[in-house]
Copies of this chain bind each other. A is one copy, B any other.
């Protein structure tokens, strides 16, 4: 059977076009679901919901929820099977940004190109908006239809998500990040920190999406290798972008790692080695998916997208 009209010379452009469209469509799906999940209301306390929506619907790439949908699809599930989970991921990611930006934490004024939550709503309301997004995430997930996977699998996803976000994952990562400011750090310590601060939520995005899509044990192991490599690659690139970009390009304050005395991959390995490391991790992530068919193409392309956004 002949190929479609695009010849080999166009195929890389074609696949690039496809992943961009995929990312856009899936991000729109998530955005719509979030908009229906955290709804405005006019009663007393409307300010709280307004503050939650201000940060939640501010855009961003929706990388974690899209990864969850892509992992679900890679094992034969439908995006809808993981959509509640995808919303929960973005709500938890957003809460972590709001709290990390607080004056007592990283004290940032700019996020996703807009003033940070506490700059608009004050510290108390920003703290509460974060608390509410985190809590509501578990309501959304527990109430999401678990048609494909069933209740025991949904419980496992809730447990893994809470573990990834809590005192063994994201929160301790942020604590370590603060405690280590200005301290001498080696690569092993930096990797330990990032595996928790950002890696854990990436990993659970992929694993949870897989579980909800009906992944078997072998598939889940492969997704775990993929998710771990991708999360680390993301962080290496994030560190690189902080060094080489402007605040305008990032939509958040640039060069702040250096200003906070934070250890980074470019600081420890240099810029070129960091880039090589990120490319290696990307290849490792893609290789982990060798047993998957074409339905894993979005996951493969996302790995390239994450790394190439800076190269």
* Interface residues, chain A, with chain B CB atoms under 8 Å away: 38, 44-45, 47-49, 52, 95, 99, 102, 104-105, 122-125, 127-128, 130-139, 142-143, 146, 150-152, 154-156, 158-159, 161-163, 165-167, 171-172, 174-176, 178-180, 189, 192-193
Contact = CB atoms under 8 A, between A and B. Distances in A.
Contacts of A102: 127
A142 B162 contact: yes
Given A104-B123, A123-B104, A151-B155, A128 B165 contact: no
A255 to B, nearest CB: 21
A47 B176 CA distance: 9
Contacts of A154: 151, 155
Contacts of A128: 99, 171, 174-175
Nearest to A118: B104
B48 A136 contact: no
Nearest to A102: B127
Nearest to A51: B175
Given A49-B167, A151-B151, A176 B44 contact: yes
A104 B132 contact: no
A105 B127 contact: yes
A134 B132 contact: no
A7 B171 CA distance: 57
Contact of A135 (B49, B134, B179): B134
